[in-house]
Amino acid sequence: MDARLQEKLDSLPTEPGVYLMKDRRGLIIYVGKAVNLRNRVRSYFTRTGDTRAFIALLDTMLGDIETVLVHNEKEALLLENELIKKHKPRFNVLLKDDKQFISLRLDRSQPYPRLEVVRKYERDGARYFGPYSSAGAIRETLRIINRYFHLRTCTDHVLANRKRPCLLHQIGRCPAPCVYPVPPEDYRRSVDEVGMFLEGKAGELVDGLRARMKRAASELKFEEAARLRDQLQAIERSLERQKVATTDFKDQDVFASYREGDRILFYVLWVRQGRLNGGQAFPFGSQEFPDEELLASFVNLYYDQGSFVPEEVLLPLEPESLEGLEGLLSERKGQKVRVLVPKRGEKHELVLMAHKNAEQAFVERKRTKDETDAVLGRLQQKLGLRNYPRRMECFDISHFQGSSIVASQVAVTDGETDKSRYRRYKIKTLEKQDDFASMYEVISRRLKRGQEEKDLPDLLVIDGGKGQLASAHAAMKDLGVEGVDVVGLAKSRDQEVFDRDAESARSPERVFVLGRKDPIVLPQNSAEIFMLTRMRDEAHRFAITFQRKDLRKSRIHSALEDIPGVGEGRRKLLLRHFGSLKRVGEASIEDLAEVVGPSMAERVHAGLHGHPEEDASDPVREASLADADAAIGEKSSQGGSPAGSA
């Protein structure tokens, strides 16, 4: 360590705060928090006999250390979280997926509540149930509730505006409070029963339903009694599958981890009302720092995403900022939250259970990674690639009737989609369809940026045959790019069959490589061709999505924004009020005046109807965007690019 860094270590403050480690280029590689900054940072360099890989790494990489002082541990946690999200340091754990686990929300303040599927918890007085680890689990729960408890499923807007009951009422699964005067006390009873079912309160719920069934039978209401019997049996079967984990019936999140070298996996086990409710694994790579630091950062990031905060959080290790974490979670929940590191008893058994799940998930992912490595190795061998295709990028050209030419770039890293490297392109040098010239432009732009940023993939996959492959190769030659492999992937297509009695045949997927006349036909059920075609199909989907968005934007612009005085605000106001461009075009001047005023209403009406010669291309007409979407969708369903694109 040089003298400058040693001097900085000696002068570090002893107050709580956040430290930022930078490499020799000035890039932030790690963000950490500490109650005592001096002790924490110096511990990385003063531990004798420490053989962890990151210690040697810091000696060679570390260029500077910055600190930010705060008042207490809680502020340090908050600041660390913000800095990690802002800088995305190389050695911090990063929750890249911003989607939350699905949960169910029940707002009892409404006169006729309904269950909503949500991904974020709010302190709004509603009751939340979950989380559910998969869409299948929540679908099964909703299927039972919708069939046997009869809560409405329509939105508040539909509830307020429906004129006649829907199909669910006709098949006996909704009392239709939107139309009929349903007694609030009857509906409220169903709401209470749904709450007991979701909380796993089997005894109270089953006893109540059994009493109602017997009462209905004694009153000779046999259809009602039969319905309650079926409901009771379905609920008992569902509740039997729920395992009791603890006897204190609390909401708990149980954390554990398993690591091998720089690869670590965190596992969160969800316990709700004392019953196991599922769990989720979070794998990370290139993590050199101690388990205690990584665990504290992970827990902080996990709850910052809006995850449900339970009454208790159980950890396998005691982080330095235990009290600060407890205070922060209590503040987010609005009530006391206990953060515990149990050493014995039921709670310790839960931590051990979470650890077993973490180890199992780690082993499964390791096995999957080994299999993926083998597939990539075979792909390199069979296609004769110079590089091991760890990073692959696939390109697709798409257009609509020769115009609106766009391109997509999707990426795969280590066999998995890498959406951070997805890109969209608008073709700038062409006005008419030319797939070869379009591909040349896109590959040139991608490679030029890659040369500037020193960020080139191992393999380029071009959607198309020899022509598209030649265009991509020409772009590489013109830019002097070497060391990057490129192949073309031609789609499977229907072949002409002369025997009328024979079934229609399809050509195989073919891979074109440079310097080889005939394409390579990989086994059509092999993992190698599946990886390539999945990437190609994803590129096609990405291009079509961009094209539709571009078409909509251009049509909306031509319809409204070309009218003088109609800007972004008035356009949104009109669309929000009338619901669609078609209805804006059908509205009278009086209807428009209620939204934008008399003078502007006349201008909008004239702009949309004052040019009969443009009616054929007016996007307000029914044949506008719907036809474009239909045409694109038709081409997409046929497995090809729209209007003959590659």
Question: pLDDT at position 202, please?
Answer: 66
Kindly state whether residue 344 falls inside one of the protein's structural domains: yes
Nearest to 231 by CA among 194, 257, 264: 194
User: Which CATH number does the domain housing residue 631 bear?
Assistant: 1.10.150.20
Contact 37, 12 (CB under 8 A): yes
Kindly state whether residue 217 falls inside one of the protein's structural domains: no
Question: pLDDT at position 267, please?
Answer: 94
Ordered DSSP codes for 191-243: HHHHHHHHHT-HHHHHHHHHHHHHHHHHTT-HHHHHHHHHHHHHHHHHHHTSP
Tokens 């571009």, residue located = 550
Residues 145-171 have pLDDT tens digits of: 888 888 999 988 888 888 889 888 888
Kindly state whether residue 491 falls inside one of the protein's structural domains: yes
Verify that 351 and 425 share a domain, yes or no. Answer: no
Verify that 556 and 532 share a domain, yes or no. Answer: no
Question: pLDDT at position 287, please?
Answer: 77
pLDDT < 70 stretches in the chain = 1, 47-57, 59, 96-101, 133-135, 200, 202, 237-247, 367, 400-403, 493-506, 550-559, 561, 610-646
Verify that 409 and 537 share a domain, yes or no. Answer: yes
Dig out the tokens for 524 from the structure.
């059509």
Which amino acid, one-letter code, is at 430?
Answer: L
Cis preceding linkage at 283, omega within 30: no
Verify that 535 and 636 share a domain, yes or no. Answer: no
Nearest to 643 by CA among 473, 427, 406, 356: 406
Contact 394, 409 (CB under 8 A): yes
Dig out the tokens for 142 from the structure.
């909703």
Contact 106, 194 (CB under 8 A): yes
Kindly state whether residue 348 falls inside one of the protein's structural domains: yes
Verify that 8 and 137 share a domain, yes or no. Answer: no
Overall domain count for the chain: 5
Verify that 399 and 522 share a domain, yes or no. Answer: yes
User: Which CATH number does the domain housing residue 398 bear?
Assistant: 3.30.420.340
Kindly state whether residue 95 falls inside one of the protein's structural domains: no
Verify that 74 and 120 share a domain, yes or no. Answer: no
Contact 296, 224 (CB under 8 A): no
Find all residues with CB under 8 Å of 51, minimum gap 6, and list them. none
Question: pLDDT at position 51, please?
Answer: 46
Structural domain harbouring 428: 391-544
Residues 630-645 have pLDDT tens digits of: 444 444 444 443 333 3
Nearest to 256 by CA among 130, 366, 326, 342: 342
Find all residues with CB under 8 Å of 248, minimum gap 6, and list them. 274, 346
